[in-house]
Chains A and B, each alone.
Chain A
């Protein structure tokens, strides 16, 4: 028994010595990695860990953090009505703009790929432009402005559909619709570029083999040849779509204000900003952020499983 344990200890020691040796041998590589690694840990990993840590505390920056266990989480789920609205809205946004934006990104990339080359690069520019100039979403503020100078109102009044201007950005009935339109407008991001590029890498020989094997139309070609070849890009696009659709907040904030009317346009991210930047309840804000992280990671796992079924 003890000899076994000694052997095991011996083995571990040898392994550790080996690891240390290969680490020393790779010291130049570590030096190359170090600047990025240090900044990445300080500004991307540490905040996540800090966020998880403070989510179990009451912390207002001025006083030292007080450990309060799961209180933040129970309060969020059981007692915070606005959080429930935010979750509903975020869920609605994620369910609509996530998959729809993702499918749109692929669909347009695919359609653009069907066009001749010169036209293709112009179309890529047109469809990707909203992501480049994303601050332009503020134009939608003018577009849906509540006075008669707002385009939506002006046109609807002029065409005789309505008599009085609609308060697009302050009436709870319309706020989410406007936000979803803007979200879709912004949804063709780096995933879209990845799809465009990925489509060009699928080899012509595969398509030729497909013709010989009796693929009849572009839909069959898409499902049996194109999509299976693009799984890595599809996964990348999914990660980007999840990131974008779950963290949608800034736009709601800018267009509808924070707080919006009756908090009806509140999303998890605006709720987080509310507690973090205005009420300085960092513990509570951290709990919200932690829940959001978990939701994103679970969604990615689900998407992985779904992508495994593509082309079968």
Chain B
């Protein structure tokens, strides 16, 4: 054990140094656009169009956020409507997803019944189905259901995201079967076992499903099945402001992008250790 006292024996000092250099260099690449956005949202107009541009804001101001609130009252569809739509889609979609996926994951992880393994195998394959590829045939499904121009078209498919079921099932496999058997001996019904024993134990996985669902729904542009302006979402509004291109709006655009970025980031920071715990069981075994 003396071997492992302080430094791992097979690590060179030069190597450790290189690790930090590489991480620092690439860390910049990944975080720069976000720092850029944060600074842009705090810049007064004359700094946004400075030449040559500066990354860091000189005289920070909240004018852009104030302008955003003025704009909120003035747009044809009240801006608050975009916010409401995004929050509504995210909250309902995420809660429904956790609930429906965890119910399915419970029986798939703890029972064998005809079709159970085949079903899970299909779900694993479906991890590869990118939403963009499914959109065209999905449009036909939505027309049949009469859900075009209806928030259901975004919320309900999100309930059944294959990724959620996959992560939840892998995580539930670790729960010892003895717990469930003991509850059964005490006369608990399946519904009770699910609500009172399983769900409290899989809180890390629930938070992980929440973060993936929030990332997807909070960034949802609602551009595929939604055409009514009053049902559009915040990222859509951001895109309109940015691609609208008017110079006076550049600061407001940055403020909106801050708005979109901050909530999922905060939630991730809050849930990070749970996410890592859950992802530890995310492997696909052949």
Name A residues whose Cβ lies closer than 8 Å to a Cβ of B.
Answer: 19, 22-23, 25-26, 28-30, 32-33, 35-37, 39-40, 42-48, 50-51, 54, 61, 108, 111-112, 114-115, 121, 123-143, 148-149, 151, 154-155, 157-158, 185, 188, 190, 193-194, 196-198, 200-201, 207-208, 211, 215-218, 220-221, 230-236, 239-240, 242-244, 246-247, 249-250, 254, 269, 272-273, 276-277, 282, 285-286, 289, 292-293, 296-297, 300, 304
Contact = CB atoms under 8 A, between A and B. Distances in A.
16 contacts: A35-B100, A44-B160, A114-B11, A114-B16, A121-B272, A125-B268, A138-B242, A138-B257, A154-B52, A157-B52, A198-B282, A201-B280, A218-B11, A236-B282, A273-B136, A277-B136
B128 A194 contact: no
B229 interface: no
B277 interface: yes
A236 B283 contact: yes
B257 A129 contact: no
B134 A108 contact: no
Given A40-B160, A231-B283, A292-B133, A143 B33 contact: yes
A58 to B, nearest CB: 14
Nearest to A127: B30
Interface string B140-184: 110100000000000011011011010000000000000000000
B27 A123 contact: yes
Contacts of A236: 282-284
A203 B159 CA distance: 36
Nearest to B159: A39
Contacts of B12: 217
A127 B103 contact: no
Interface residues of B, number: 98
Contacts of A133: 34, 219, 260-261, 264-265
Contact of A39 (B29, B100, B137): B100
Contacts of A111: 19, 22-23
B52 A33 contact: no
B53 interface: yes
B284 A149 contact: no
B53 A43 contact: no
B215 A134 contact: yes
Contact of B133 (A42, A130, A254, A289): A289
Interface of B: 3-4, 8-12, 15-16, 19-20, 22-23, 26-27, 29-31, 33-34, 36-37, 40, 49, 51-53, 100-101, 103-104, 106-108, 111, 113-114, 116, 119, 122-141, 143, 156-157, 159-160, 162-163, 165, 190, 194, 212, 215, 219, 221, 224, 235, 238-239, 242, 257, 260-261, 264-265, 268-269, 272-273, 275-280, 282-286
A8 to B, nearest CB: 21
Contacts of B107: 29-30, 32-33
Contacts of B4: 208, 211
A51 B3 contact: no
Nearest to A187: B30
Contacts of A197: 276-280, 282
Residue of A35, A207, A234 with highest tally of chain B CB at under 10 A = A35
B9 A211 contact: yes
Contacts of A131: 215
Contacts of A148: 51
A242 B159 CA distance: 23
Given A285-B136, A296-B128, A185 B122 contact: no
Given A133-B34, A134-B219, A149-B51, A272 B136 contact: yes
B52 A155 contact: yes
B53 A108 contact: no
B140 A50 contact: yes
Contacts of B135: 273, 276
Given A138-B238, A286-B137, A36 B160 contact: yes
A262 B36 CA distance: 31
B141 A46 contact: yes
A32 to B, nearest CB: 4
Nearest to A184: B29
Contacts of B194: 32
Given A30-B113, A132-B264, A48 B129 contact: yes
Q: What are the nearest 10 A-B pairs in CB distance?
A: A232-B283, A247-B130, A36-B104, A26-B113, A197-B279, A47-B137, A276-B136, A39-B160, A197-B280, A43-B157
